[in-house]
């Protein structure tokens, strides 16, 4: 039997029943309010909060069943536990009450130890539910705060380059994303670009993507993995950057969590894009009047093998070309029939929006994925960077 105290509402048209229950429950340190009919009960519940309702079924005017029906339109069984009181012979009323969402019932004449035990059970469940909801709210607030921090790390201040247009979109499927992207100035004539996709979702994936983004920071120094130190720092080759990442994030130490990445360096002068992939989709290249071209890329995800041999490739960009770096959510998102969006639909989407601005083409493609899914709640994060060489 629980000795937990709560605020109770006793609803009964019989004054003797109300008085008996009120006195005996009060002796057990409960706060007890009484109502003599259904309307009075509804008015009290509208003004005050209660932990448990003891509700008589047979009352003139608004019956207990009708009070229950109205309350369940606004309060769940977890939010407002209701114990029905009925005569032993009225089994149909008990069945109807339970179907409408009553938490429990007691039969008249009331056996007080039984009433007390069932009130105690509902109080314990209510307190546990309230504690769970409070913990959930705290966790939700923490996740929202972490998501805001993650958003602030995205590249809102893009490099300003006369010969290039740069745009990006970042669409997490949960509060926190395992994806991350960045575009940053490496030197006067080079920009670094990458898209990261951590296996899984939620806090662990987000923490790993945050750690990776910190290590890919373009700050010069002996610990930098993207810049060689010296009087005039120079960019590290993309293949070497991935090799260094693989050393920093071994599979076992990283709790069996790995990530894919496409990292590249774009030389602004000759429009050469050097890149390497660690298990990540290769770039998608769109030229005016031509179909979108998927450029394949090979390489183990970071942390899978001890000594990967990452290949470095190069793309010569021409005026009018658009290049897209993206996470695999763009081709692996499914619709209600379980069919993937696939590379051909992705290619068609970016190609069909070539006449739009670069930023609008990314927005249109993102909307195409959401439309394919049939919902704004996607199964995977979406990250994409677009680079356009101006004519």
166 and 67 assigned to the same domain: no
Check residue 256 and give its pLDDT. 62
299 and 258 assigned to the same domain: yes
Q: Is residue 285 part of a domain?
A: yes
Q: Is residue 229 part of a domain?
A: yes
Residue 83 pLDDT more than 70?
Answer: yes
Longest dimension (CA), the chain: 94
- pLDDT, tens only, 54-64: 999 999 999 99
Q: Is residue 147 part of a domain?
A: no
160 and 130 assigned to the same domain: no
Domain with 34 in it: what CATH number? 3.40.50.2300
Q: Is residue 148 part of a domain?
A: no
The answer to whether the pTM exceeds 0.75 is no
The residue range of the domain holding 16 is 7-141
- pLDDT, tens only, 202-253: 788 888 888 899 999 888 677 889 998 777 778 999 999 999 999 998 866 5
* Residue that finishes a domain, picked among 141, 175, 206: 141
Give the CA-trace dihedral at 11, 13, 16, 17, to 10 degrees: -40
Q: How many Cβ atoms sit within 10 Å of the Cβ of residue 182?
A: 19
86 and 200 assigned to the same domain: no
164 and 187 assigned to the same domain: yes
50 and 179 assigned to the same domain: no
Q: Is residue 18 part of a domain?
A: yes
167 and 83 assigned to the same domain: no
* Residue that finishes a domain, picked among 141, 175, 203: 141
User: Which residues touch 325 (CB under 8 Å, ≥6 apart)?
Assistant: 181, 193, 194, 195, 262, 264, 283, 384, 385, 387
167 and 293 assigned to the same domain: yes
Domain with 255 in it: what CATH number? 3.60.40.10
218 and 343 assigned to the same domain: yes
Q: Is residue 1 part of a domain?
A: no
Instruction: Measure the N-to-C terminal CA separation of the chain; round to a whole number of Å.
Output: 80
- pLDDT, tens only, 347-380: 999 998 888 999 999 999 999 999 999 888 888 8
Q: Is residue 208 part of a domain?
A: yes
Residue 32 pLDDT more than 90?
Answer: yes
Check residue 289 and give its pLDDT. 64
162 and 124 assigned to the same domain: no
20 and 124 assigned to the same domain: yes
> How many structural domains compose the chain?
2
169 and 80 assigned to the same domain: no
Q: Is residue 2 part of a domain?
A: no
> Beta-strand (E) ranges in the chain?
7-11, 31-35, 52-56, 82-87, 104-108, 164-171, 179-187, 190-198, 227-228, 234-235, 259-267, 272-278, 284-286, 293-294, 313-316, 322-326, 382-389
Residue 255 pLDDT more than 70?
Answer: no
């Amino acid at each position: 039997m629980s000795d937990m105290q709560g605020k109770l509402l006793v609803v009964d048209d019989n004054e003797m029943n109300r008085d008996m229950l009120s006195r005996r429950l009060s002796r057990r340190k409960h706060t007890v309010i009484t109502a003599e009919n259904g309307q009075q009960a509804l008015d009290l519940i509208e003004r005050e909060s209660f932990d448990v309702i003891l509700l008589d079924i047979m009352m003139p005017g608004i019956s207990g069943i009708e009070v229950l029906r109205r309350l369940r339109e606004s309060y769940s069984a977890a939010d407002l536990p209701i114990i029905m009181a009925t005569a032993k012979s009225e089994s149909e009323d008990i069945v109807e009450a339970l179907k409408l969402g009553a938490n429990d019932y007691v039969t008249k004449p009331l056996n007080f130890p039984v009433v007390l035990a069932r009130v105690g059970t509902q109080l314990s469940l209510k307190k546990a539910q309230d504690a769970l909801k409070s913990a959930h709210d705290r966790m939700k607030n923490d996740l929202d705060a972490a998501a805001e921090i993650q958003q602030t790390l995205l590249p809102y201040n893009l490099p300003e380059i006369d010969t290039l247009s740069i745009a990006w979109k970042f669409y997490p499927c949960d509060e926190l994303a395992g994806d991350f992207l960045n575009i940053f100035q490496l030197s006067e004539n080079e920009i670094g670009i990458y898209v990261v996709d951590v296996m899984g979702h939620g806090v662990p994936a987000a923490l790993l993507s945050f750690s990776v983004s910190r290590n890919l920071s373009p700050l010069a120094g002996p610990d930098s993995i993207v810049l060689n130190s010296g009087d005039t720092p120079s960019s590290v080759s993309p293949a070497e950057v991935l090799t260094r990442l693989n050393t920093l994030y071994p599979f076992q130490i990283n709790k069996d969590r790995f990530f894919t990445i496409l990292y590249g360096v774009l030389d602004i002068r000759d429009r050469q894009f050097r890149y390497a992939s660690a298990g990540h989709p290769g770039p998608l290249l769109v030229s005016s009047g031509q179909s979108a071209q998927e450029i394949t890329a090979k390489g183990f995800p970071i942390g899978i093998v001890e000594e990967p041999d990452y290949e470095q490739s190069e793309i010569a960009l021409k005026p009018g070309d658009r290049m897209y770096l993206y996470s695999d959510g763009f081709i692996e998102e499914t619709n209600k029939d379980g069919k993937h969006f696939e590379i051909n639909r992705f290619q068609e989407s970016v190609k069909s929006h070539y006449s739009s601005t670069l930023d609008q083409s990314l927005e249109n493609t993102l909307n195409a994925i959401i439309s394919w899914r049939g919902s704004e709640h996607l199964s995977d994060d979406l990250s994409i960077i677009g680079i356009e060489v101006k004519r």
